[in-house]
Amino acid sequence: MTEAMGNWPRTIPGAAKAAAEQWPDVPGLIVGDRTWTFAELWADARSSASAMLASGVSHGDRIAIWAPNTREWILAALGAQAVGATIVPMNTRFKGHEAADILRRASVKLLFAPADFLNQDYATLIAGEDLPDLAETIHLDRDFDAFVARGKGADDPAVDAAFAQVGPDDICDIIFTSGTTGRPKGALTAHCQATQIFGDWAVRVDLRPGDRYLIVNPFFHTFGYKAGWSACLVRGATIVPMATFDVGAMVRQIEENRITFIPGPPTIYQSLLQELAGDKPRDFSSLRVAVTGAAPVPPVLVERMRAELGMSNIVNGYGMTECGCIAMTRQGDDAETIANTCGYPLPGTEVRCVDENGQDMPTGEAGELWVRGQGVMRGYLDDPAATAEAIDADGWLHTGDIGTIDAKGYLKITDRKKDMFICGGFNVYPAEIEAILAKHPAIAQAAVIGIADERMGELGKAFVVLRAGAEAPSEADLIVWSRENMANYKVPRTFAILPELPRNAAGKVLKTDLR
């Protein structure tokens, strides 16, 4: 199963430049009824870079982008990176204090944010916050052209001089973790890591020159940014961004722009299948590749995507902010493999499954996954203690994910290490219990934590959200149902019904709040 690592451009703006040279007249970006070739995209990125220099941005500075998926997002990022600055992508669901915390800690110099996204001027959210390093906020949707006009255009020789100083080991971005267990930490990634990992990722998932890639995943996330538009630059695929997810808009994009490549959770593909079953004829014949994950993928859905949507290549995978992509299934894997594993490690990536003492677990037995390779972050921003805790002296990233490695080397994630608790000597993995509880006819969502118990060590407590219109079951009924559907040591001893589960800006359940 050995695969060779690819030979890719060594920086992200270097990939944009190479794409302009290799595919100058190929559509590089489509937004609405406008198309830009790769040559035009790189020229626009250079104009943005000139404006960055005119605005005082230089090598090592940080600029933040707090906005939905747009052309201007890409140009702000490439313009900053082309002069050696680091980008700080920010979640569009952040509240003002969350955004301000990151802007402060990253010493951000310029912020690019919309004047109007979902009826919100983002600049007003941070008004009054103490941000000593922030020189200016540029409204990305209203004033970006005026910002670009500050510079001397695409032919500015100062851009060449600055770009020549950008090296593969320069930090290309600081992406902050979701912060489900505490304050978000900023993961530092170098240019050569991003292009190497996601060039190899693109080969694994079969992203080809000439593909039309509908990027639904947000650019503030690794999936929408590195496995999204920057992978398109590396491979010569056309970037087609969506600012917000909308089924109708997605259908139009597929039919009008002949989309071949779509990422996203299973719900996206279920929506497309529903469209096919509707009264209006749909032409999805261009679709070839689906990259899914973030939720269980039933084998029957994989088969339907192949048979009804005509998607010949469906892949599932595993990644994290601290290491980009770690593993992906392979082209031709069967539906059971795609549904029940998250794939095989990418080239140059080592994965171990270990016990609490760091000893390797037998094949198929659960333990913590450790990862080593070119994708592992350079560390956490200004946090050497957290960095040392995450990456050991031998370079292994301790992921905190509990999983297994089968005889073929494929990974399966079963839970988060920090969520596991021990009941009567048995390891209990909340994610497994949550998946079972979700099958209860009255339960829409569930979150399980361990609470201290003098006799058993810890016992499970389940917080559940009911399905719309469902009659609330009694705690006794839920316990009886659970005993019929899972081993006794896994059965939550107490249940609490909530109107909704507490979540952070990335949508992850905040179990710290539940505790």
The winner for highest mean pLDDT among 149-163, 289-303, 425-439 is 149-163
Contact 198, 230 (CB under 8 A): yes
Residue-level pLDDT at 489? 82
Q: Are 296 and 435 in contact (CB under 8 A)?
A: yes
* 453 occurs within a structural domain: yes
Q: Is residue 488 very low, low, confident or very high in pLDDT (cuts 50, 70, 90)? A: confident
How far is residue 69's CA from residue 72's CA, in Å, rounded to a whole number?
8
Q: Could you tell me how far CA 441 lies from the centroid of its own chain?
A: 31
In whole angstroms, what is the distance from residue 271 CA to residue 277 CA? 10
CA distance 275 to 251: 8
46, 82 contact by CB (below 8 A): yes
Give the confidence band of 177 by pLDDT, cuts at 50, 70, 90.
confident
Query: What pLDDT score was predicted for residue 423?
Result: 86
pLDDT at 506 over 70: no
269 inside domain: no
* Predicted local distance difference test score (pLDDT) of residue 161: 98
Percent of the chain with pLDDT strictly greater than 90? 83
Q: pTM for the complete prediction? A: 0.87
pLDDT in tens, 200-226: 999 999 999 999 999 999 999 999 999
Q: Could you tell me which of 320, 381, 452, 366 has the C-alpha nearest to residue 106?
A: 381
Q: Locate tokens 């009826």: which residue?
A: 119
Instruction: Report the 10 Å Cβ neighbour count for 500.
Output: 9
The tokens 């255009």 sit on which residue? 153
- Domain for residue 229, yes or no? yes
pLDDT tens figures, 230-273? 999 999 999 999 999 899 999 999 999 999 999 987 878 989 99
> Would 332 be classed as within a structural domain?
no
- Does the residue 434 lie in any domain? yes
* Number of compact structural domains in the chain: 2
Q: Which residues of 48-71 are buried (b: 16+ CB within 10 A; e: fewer)?
A: bbbbbbbbebeeebbbbbbbbbbb
Does 417 reside within a domain?
Answer: no
Least confident of 173-182, 331-340, 363-372, 488-497: 173-182
Specify the CATH number for the domain of residue 433. Answer: 3.30.300.30
- The answer as to whether 52 is a domain residue is yes
Find the range with the poorest average confidence among 261-270, 300-309, 349-358: 261-270
Beta strand pairing call for 313-320 and 324-328: antiparallel
Q: Cβ(323)–Cβ(376) under 8 Å?
A: yes
Check: CB of residue 190 under 8 Å from CB of residue 184: no
- The 10 Å Cβ neighbour count of residue 515 is 9
The whole-number average pLDDT for the span 39-68 is 98
Question: Is the pLDDT reported for residue 294 higher than 60?
Answer: no
Q: Which domain holds residue 110?
A: 7-24+34-191+211-244
**Pairwise pLDDT comparison (91 vs 179), residue with the higher score:** 91
pLDDT for residue 296 is more than 70: no
The pLDDT value recorded for residue 132 is 97
Q: Which amino acid is at 300?
A: V
Beta bridge partners of 401: 416
Above 70 in pLDDT, residue 179? Answer: no
Residue 388 counted as domain residue = no
- Summarised one tens digit per residue, pLDDT across range 380-426 is 999 999 999 999 999 999 999 999 999 999 999 887 777 878 887 77
Q: List the CATH number of the domain containing 75.
A: 3.40.50.12780
Tell whether the model's pLDDT for residue 182 goes beyond 90.
no
Indicate the average pLDDT of the chain.
94
Provide the pLDDT for residue 181.
52
CA-wise closest residue to 170 among 243, 250, 236, 81 = 81
Q: What is the pLDDT of residue 394?
A: 98
The model's confidence at residue 36, banded by pLDDT at 50, 70 and 90, is: very high
Q: Are 183 and 513 in contact (CB under 8 A)?
A: no
